[in-house]
């Protein structure tokens, strides 16, 4: 599957689009981020990119997360469920998603139990963050829409 246009818009809304590199909110430093949540060794303080470069980075990043969801999830998904999982893993990482109770419940076909797990992922650096709480509520709603 591929992330739908609505799913991409939701990720952009949740992550924001920033054309100048900024530090991680939880650490105040690394990892540095630019565009729509893009991190990596190619991102450093002072880096500036265009909207077109941001979109290209997002498209490339999404390929990795889409492939990860396809590899890790063993049950059928709706488009909304897929989009919500791409958004979630985009934020927490595929490693964390791969070992999560959310994935375990999902692969056991406990879709409702999996949906409830989104809300448990609202901390960064050990601190509850209001922005993550809002994001997880939004991802949960997206996941359950149409189910």
Q: How many Cβ atoms are within 10 Å of 115's Cβ, its own excluded?
A: 21
Structural domains of the chain, ranges and CATH numbers in brackets: 5-141 (1.10.530.40)
Q: Is 54 left (phi over 0), alpha (psi -120 to 50) or beta?
A: alpha
Nearest Cα to 14, choosing from 147, 121, 125?
A: 121
Q: What distance in Å separates the CA atoms of residue 42 and residue 32, rounded to the nearest whole number?
A: 9
pTM (2 decimals)? 0.92
- For each of the chain's 147 residues, which pLDDT tens digit applies? 999 999 999 999 999 999 999 998 778 888 999 999 999 999 999 999 999 999 999 999 999 999 999 999 999 999 999 999 999 999 999 999 999 999 999 999 999 999 999 999 999 878 898 999 999 999 999 999 954
- For residue 39, give every residue at least 6 positions away whose Cβ sits within 8 Å of its Cβ, in sequence order, or none: 31, 32, 33
Catalytic positions are: 15
């Amino acid at each position: 599957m591929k992330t739908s246009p609505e799913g991409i818009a939701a990720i952009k809304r949740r992550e924001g689009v920033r054309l100048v590199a900024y530090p991680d909110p939880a650490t105040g430093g690394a990892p540095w981020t630019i565009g729509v949540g893009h991190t990596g060794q190619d991102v450093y303080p002072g880096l500036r990119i265009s909207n077109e470069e941001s979109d290209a980075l997002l498209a490339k990043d999404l390929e990795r997360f889409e492939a990860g969801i396809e590899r890790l999830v063993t049950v059928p998904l709706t488009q909304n469920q897929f989009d919500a999982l791409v958004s979630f893993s985009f934020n927490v990482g595929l490693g964390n998603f791969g070992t999560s109770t959310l994935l375990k419940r999902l692969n056991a076909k406990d879709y409702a139990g999996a949906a409830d797990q989104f809300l448990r992922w609202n901390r960064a650096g050990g601190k509850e963050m209001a922005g993550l709480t809002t994001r997880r509520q939004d991802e949960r709603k997206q996941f359950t829409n149409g189910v």
